[in-house]
């Protein structure tokens, strides 16, 4: 079963300095049918104006992944980390017992466009942590590149949850396939461009819940960039 959700169906907030689209319920956007999927809790598609950003604020008990599409995102946190994340960089922050951080557009002239992803950790009160990897576009063109996993293999970021996160860039005529194991589901998010998912057309901002499917096929129909989350099936009544 594949349940498509178009980009225009997402929550939306525009504060001038921040233009944000919410795949799942977040801040002032609330939809009881969109409270996340499996352990995936947030996908925010954010564009921040030049020189603007999120001042220092707290988080706890969440795995936070930042994925930059355009521009540079300047990160500082209470663990002493500071960096500018650019396209191709994947950053993971474990909020755990509690951290504070800020995120600002690193440019005074160009916007920054990025995805912020929240994943529920496999246990509460983890030690806070930070990690960043560079994944070159060539590593993702025409193939599924693992960028996040529970054990950090293949130079992926370590996510403290039973999640495998893949990224791919597909040109027209290119195709990738991914098999889903037993008790696994998936979520696909089109970061930009357009693709086909098991024959269904998807464009930038579109998402798809995928359950009870043996295989996922992504086909390029122009040039598209996709994030694919391989997730555990969560039983009803669990903490997730």
Q: Where are the domains of the chain?
A: 2-232
pTM equals 0.96
Q: Note the pLDDT of residue 237.
A: 45
126 compared with 236, residue with greater pLDDT: 126
Cβ–Cβ under 8 Å, residues 193 and 154: no
| Residue 188: half-sphere exposure toward Cβ, Cα within 13 Å | 34
**Three-state DSSP class for residue 172:** coil
Strands 223-232 and 40-48: unpaired
165 closest CA partner among 181, 149, 143: 149
Q: Note the pLDDT of residue 31.
A: 97
Q: Name the phi and psi angles at 191, rounded to 5.
A: -75, -40
Average pLDDT of 120-124?
97
Q: Note the pLDDT of residue 206.
A: 98
- What is the rounded CA–CA span in Å between residue 96 and residue 127? 5
Q: Which pLDDT tens digit goes with each residue over 217-240?
A: 999 999 999 999 999 999 754 444
Average pLDDT of 157-180?
98
Check whether 168 has a pLDDT greater than 70. yes
170 closest CA partner among 197, 149, 147: 197
Cβ–Cβ under 8 Å, residues 214 and 182: no
User: 92-96, 134-138, 195-199: which range is least confident on average?
Assistant: 134-138
Q: Note the pLDDT of residue 236.
A: 55
Average pLDDT of 205-212?
98
Q: Which pLDDT tens digit goes with each residue over 169-206?
A: 999 999 999 999 999 999 999 999 999 999 999 999 99
Check whether 29 has a pLDDT greater than 50. yes
CATH architecture of 2-232: Sandwich (2.60)
Average pLDDT of 32-43?
97
235 compared with 92, residue with greater pLDDT: 92
Q: Note the pLDDT of residue 235.
A: 73
Q: Note the pLDDT of residue 102.
A: 97
The size of the chain, in residues, is 240
Q: Note the pLDDT of residue 158.
A: 98
Return mean pLDDT, the chain: 96
């Amino acid at each position: 079963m594949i349940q498509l959700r178009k980009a225009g169906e997402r929550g939306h907030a525009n504060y001038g300095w921040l233009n944000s689209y919410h795949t799942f319920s977040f801040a002032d956007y609330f939809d009881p049918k969109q409270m996340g999927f499996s352990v995936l809790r947030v996908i925010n598609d954010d564009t921040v104006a030049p020189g603007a950003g999120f001042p220092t604020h707290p988080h706890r008990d969440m795995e936070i992944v930042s994925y930059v599409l355009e521009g540079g995102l300047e990160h500082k946190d209470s663990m002493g980390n500071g960096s500018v994340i650019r396209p191709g960089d994947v950053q993971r922050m474990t909020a755990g017992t509690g951290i504070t951080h800020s995120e600002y557009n690193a440019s005074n002239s160009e916007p920054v466009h990025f995805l912020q992803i929240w994943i529920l950790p496999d246990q509460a009160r983890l030690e806070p942590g930070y990690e960043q990897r560079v994944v070159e576009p060539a590593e993702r063109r025409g193939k599924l590149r693992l960028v996040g996993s529970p054990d950090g293999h293949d130079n992926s970021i370590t996510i403290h949850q039973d999640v495998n996160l893949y990224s791919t860039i597909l040109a027209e005529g290119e195709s990738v396939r991914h098999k889903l194991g037993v008790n696994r589901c998936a979520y696909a998010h089109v970061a930009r461009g357009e693709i086909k998912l098991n024959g269904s057309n998807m464009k930038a901002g579109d998402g798809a819940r995928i359950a009870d499917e043996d295989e996922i096929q992504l086909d390029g129909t122009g040039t598209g960039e996709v994030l694919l989350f391989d997730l555990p099936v969560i039983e009803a009544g669990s903490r997730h």
